């Protein structure tokens, strides 16, 4: 009889703790997105164009850069697009302090700091930014970025609007 009560107590504890982990926004989707964030930046650092494109939503991505320019139109990038965009770049970006929350079924909000060195063979410079992402669970069961917003974390700075901000 005592072992039956012990098993019941253990089962109830497991159920309560697993319910708690889902209630705080850190369910399996949130954990999968933390891993996907790391995969995305690893792919960017190693110029794995196919992996970068595959981690972005197949229906396009909303983007905003940290230079203070206007929001970019929704776009879908192919591996070839990323190859052109990353030509000559040598980045070593690292993710710090990721926070994630599953805000709806199949939708995860993520924010983190990104810091490292960017540039090319001729010049490398330090880069620090805050990143906000929205990840969606797509029909094939993969988590992909639907929105990405960078905001300058370089202790201030402003951007003056210029004509090139209106291009794209």
pLDDT digits (tens, 9 = 90+) for 13-51: 343 343 333 434 456 889 999 999 999 999 999 999 999
In a domain, 38, yes or no: yes
In a domain, 33, yes or no: yes
What domain range is 129 assigned to?
27-166
- Give the CA radius of gyration of the chain: 20
pLDDT tens for 46-85 read 999 999 999 999 999 998 877 777 788 888 999 999 899 8
pLDDT beyond 90 at 137? yes
For 10-14, 92-96, 145-149, which range has the lowest pLDDT when averaged over its residues? 10-14
Rounded alpha-carbon distances, angstroms, from residue 11 to 1, 7, 16, 21: 15, 6, 9, 16
Q: How many domains does the chain have?
A: 1
Task: Give residue 31's pLDDT.
Answer: 92
Task: Give residue 16's pLDDT.
Answer: 38
In a domain, 1, yes or no: no
């Amino acid at each position: 009889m005592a072992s039956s009560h012990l098993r019941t107590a253990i089962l109830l504890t497991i159920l309560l703790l697993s319910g708690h982990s889902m209630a705080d926004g850190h369910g399996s989707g949130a954990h999968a997105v933390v891993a996907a964030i790391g995969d995305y930046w690893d792919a960017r650092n190693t110029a794995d164009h196919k992996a970068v494109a595959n981690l972005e939503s197949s229906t396009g991505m909303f983007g905003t850069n940290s230079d203070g320019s206007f929001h970019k139109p929704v776009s879908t990038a192919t591996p070839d697009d990323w190859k052109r965009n990353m030509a000559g770049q040598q980045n070593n970006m690292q993710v710090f302090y990721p926070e994630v929350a599953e805000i709806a079924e199949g939708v995860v909000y993520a924010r983190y700091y990104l810091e490292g060195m960017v540039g090319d063979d001729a010049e490398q410079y330090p880069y620090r930014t805050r990143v906000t992402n929205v990840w969606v669970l797509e029909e094939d069961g993969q988590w992909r970025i639907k929105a990405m917003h960078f905001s300058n974390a370089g202790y201030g700075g402003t951007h003056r609007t210029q004509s090139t901000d209106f291009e794209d």
